[in-house]
Amino acid sequence: MKSDKDGTKQKVIEAAISLFNVQGYSGTSIRNICERADVNPALVSYYFGGKKGLLEYLMTSFFENYLKAIEHENTNGSARDLLIETLRQALYYQQSKHDIARFVHREITLDTMLVREVMSTYLMKEKHVYYEILKKGMDRLEFKKQPIDFIIIQIRGMVTLPFLHPQYIREVHHLIPHEEYFILHYIEYLTTWIDQYLCERQTKEESLASS
């Protein structure tokens, strides 16, 4: 007689994540998950209303918190500092859930109804967050005028890729994406990118001084 005290539900979630990571959602069977979690397969239907429900649960809870992490009420500071802070949050959040991040970023490239919904809510908002910061920066002449969409695309690529494709980072570049060490250096790199590429020349020295 098992109660949820031993975290049956949690065990399913963890097993699912680690398998989705490696094999993808479609490539992973419920049996697969439940064997690893040492749990009865019927429970997935019971808890999440089926395999699809499990995916939905994982995706939305990931993005829900992701947005919370990158949205800031306090927008007083410089656009540059705000952007850096946002990227930092995005990276740290993903680091803390790097296992979910990976398969979510992958799964979201498919053409499912779920994906379209997720995209039209969360990714829309994500874009908005960056847009506001960049707009503000350009208005205040902190940032050079450049096509905002392209910048956001570039940002999303930079923020996303290390968690979508950690093997690449690991095996080709011999860096470990979800280690503190990597994150720190990566943020540093992104900061110089912001300063040298986004920011107006004169602002650069100032901002460096202010950091």
Partner DNA sequence: CATGAATGAGCCTTCATTCAT
Partner DNA sequence: GATGAATGAAGGCTCATTCAT
Interaction between residue 162 and a copy of itself (CB under 8 A): yes
15-42 burial: b if 16+ Cβ within 10 Å, else e: bbbbbbbeeebeebebebbbebbebebe
Q: Is the dihedral angle over the CA atoms 5, 68, 120, 146 positive or is it negative?
A: negative
The pair of structure tokens assigned to 124 is: 């829309």
199 three-state secondary structure: strand
- Per-residue CA distances from 48 to 43, 53, 57, 102, 172 (Å): 8, 5, 8, 21, 38
CB of 30 to DNA, least distance (A): 4
x/- mask, a copy of itself, residues 99-118, rule CB under 8 A, reads ---x--xx-xxxx---xx--
What residues between 26 and 85 interact with a copy of itself by CB under 8 A? 26-27
x/- mask, DNA, residues 27-46, rule CB under 7 A, reads -xxxxx------xxxxxxxx
Interaction between residue 11 and a copy of itself (CB under 8 A): no
Interaction between residue 110 and DNA (CB under 7 A): no
143 three-state secondary structure: strand
By beta-carbon proximity to a copy of itself, the closer residue of 10 and 146 is 146
Contact status, residue 168 vs residue 162, Cβ threshold 8 Å: no
Interaction between residue 8 and DNA (CB under 7 A): yes
What residues between 9 and 28 interact with DNA by CB under 7 A? 9, 28
> How far is 28 from 169, CA to CA, in rounded Å?
24
Question: Is residue 104 exposed (0-12), middle (13-18) or buried (19+ Cβ within 10 Å)?
Answer: buried
Interaction between residue 77 and DNA (CB under 7 A): no
Interaction between residue 50 and DNA (CB under 7 A): yes
Residue numbers at the binding site for DNA (CB under 7 A): 1-4, 6, 8-9, 28-32, 39-46, 50-52
Residue numbers at the binding site for a copy of itself (CB under 8 A): 21-27, 102, 105-106, 108-111, 115-116, 119-120, 123-124, 127, 146-147, 149-150, 152-154, 156-158, 160-162, 164-165, 167-169, 171-173, 175, 185-186, 189, 192-193, 196-197
